[in-house]
Amino acid sequence: MLLGQVIGTVVATQKESSLMGLKFLLVRAVDENKEPTGATVVAADVVGCGMGEYVLYATGSSARQTRATDNRPCDATIMAIVDQWEVGGEVRYKK
Amino acid sequence: MLLGQVIGTVVATQKESSLMGLKFLLVRAVDENKEPTGATVVAADVVGCGMGEYVLYATGSSARQTRATDNRPCDATIMAIVDQWEVGGEVRYKK
Amino acid sequence: MLLGQVIGTVVATQKESSLMGLKFLLVRAVDENKEPTGATVVAADVVGCGMGEYVLYATGSSARQTRATDNRPCDATIMAIVDQWEVGGEVRYKK
Amino acid sequence: MLLGQVIGTVVATQKESSLMGLKFLLVRAVDENKEPTGATVVAADVVGCGMGEYVLYATGSSARQTRATDNRPCDATIMAIVDQWEVGGEVRYKK
Amino acid sequence: MLLGQVIGTVVATQKESSLMGLKFLLVRAVDENKEPTGATVVAADVVGCGMGEYVLYATGSSARQTRATDNRPCDATIMAIVDQWEVGGEVRYKK
């Protein structure tokens, strides 16, 4: 998975029917220092996260390995809300 | 998924038979500020979008998780037409 | 899929048995202006294309969704020969 | 797979239920000279590795081909702890 | 697939049990001019190649489409030893 920060929302009413009911958020990928890596994805949210939160998101076929996204055309899914991460024993992020 | 803008059309008469009947569009990936990220893909259109529209497209095996693209060699599919997106509560794009 | 130009051929006699009978070509990925994007792949050819032609190729598991490449270790397959593409109503390539 | 170095830990209590019981580590991808390539991933650990160790990790659907990660939303899994690697007959890393 | 050159070996005794018996090599991706593209992967060898040889390797789920790697956590597999490749009718590499 990748570290990311939830930065926004996307509204799309005209869409593939199998996407109905899923909530999509704009997620900016970040590195271990919270610096943006340059990628921004639109990810399905299955954990109920809020704006600005740091999350873990999975991409590719792994993004469909949840009850909510099974067999749906999701290639990026937020899987967890991060409480804390450490690098070399030093806390780099704490919620 | 990724944000993209529909920028063109592609015509190809000599092709793999399983691609017959699908419409392919040129989509330029954009970031949350509508700036091109450098990638341009040829995506199947299953939602009927028009030139210049901002869309969400899925890549990889997720691109085949629609009725129209099931078991077809599609690695990029436009899944939704974007109405609006916001970053930090500010509207960055509105159709 | 991605736009590419067929630029060469590859000969390999010692190979995985399931690759037997497939023809592999060197394909240089290009953007909508026919400029190389920096990637060159070795793709299976299932449409019979010639040197210098512009093509569409699929990557990942989608590359195996053809009769010729099913269950074979192909991660890139040329799916179509491009006749023409347009950007913003302007023809950028015509065969 | 890719070479990487385990650089940290991630704690996330609010998460997709199918991730329960898996341990996730921050892994920095490195090249054959141990130089970071720029990518940092959050990978499931199925081999019990320690901080600072050099490892091999798989990405994509291959990350799910272990007993511990089968059918789980893991897109990166540490598969081995590296003892040594050589380039051109010269040892570049030895544990 | 991608063109690559075998540049080294990797030894890892503590590993996921399903990797037992597979040989892993360091492969540096190259372009059509034999110039490194910047990527180095650890690929399973199912064709018995030697140090310095130029090879074709597949990535992603295609890397598992061989008898030796089926259902194993391999995301990169060397599929062929290259005898020769040509660009625009000119030989760029000959074994």
Q: Is D29 near chain E, with CB under 8 Å?
A: no
- At residue D33, the pLDDT reads 97
DSSP characters over E34-79? S-EEEEEEEEEESS---TT-EEEEEEGGGGG-STTTTTS--SEEEE
Render pLDDT for A26-68 as a digit per residue (tens, 0 to 9).
999 999 999 999 999 999 999 999 999 999 999 999 999 999 9
**C-alpha to C-alpha distance for C77 and B31, rounded to whole angstroms:** 28
Render pLDDT for C2-28 as a digit per residue (tens, 0 to 9).
999 999 999 999 999 999 999 999 999
- At residue D90, the pLDDT reads 96
Sign of CA dihedral D58, D64, D66, D68: positive
Backbone φ and ψ of B71, nearest 5° = 65, 15
Query: CB of D64 within 8 A of CB of D30?
Result: no
CB-CB under 8 Å, E76 with D65 = no
Q: Is E58 near chain C, with CB under 8 Å?
A: yes
Residue in A60, A80, A85 closest to D19 by CB: A80
Q: Which domains does chain E have, with CATH numbers?
A: 2-94 (2.40.50.220)
The HSE-up count of residue D21 (CA atoms within 13 Å, CB side) is 7
Q: Nearest-CA neighbor of A3 among A91, A80, A87?
A: A80
Residue in B42, B51, B74 closest to C3 by CB: B42
Residues of E in contact with C73 (CB under 8 A): 58, 62-63, 65-66, 77, 79
Render pLDDT for B30-70 as a digit per residue (tens, 0 to 9).
999 999 999 999 999 999 999 999 999 999 999 999 999 99
Query: Distance from B34 to chain C by nearest Cα, in Å?
Result: 17
Residue in E8, E14, E18 closest to D65 by CB: E18
Most A CBs within 10 Å, among B33, B49, B70, B79, to test the A interface: B79
- At residue A68, the pLDDT reads 94
Render pLDDT for D33-80 as a digit per residue (tens, 0 to 9).
999 999 999 999 999 999 999 999 999 999 999 999 999 999 999 999
Q: Is C63 near chain B, with CB under 8 Å?
A: yes
- At residue C24, the pLDDT reads 97
- At residue D86, the pLDDT reads 98
Render pLDDT for D10-38 as a digit per residue (tens, 0 to 9).
999 999 999 999 999 999 999 999 999 99
CB-CB under 8 Å, E88 with C10 = no
Mean pLDDT for back-to-back runs of 10 residues, chain E (95 residues): 98 95 97 96 97 98 96 97 97 96
- At residue A88, the pLDDT reads 93
Q: Is A60 near chain D, with CB under 8 Å?
A: yes
Residue with tokens 């070795």: C42
Sign of CA dihedral C27, C38, E84, C63: negative
pTM check: above 0.90? yes
Residue in B32, B47, B61 closest to A7 by CB: B32
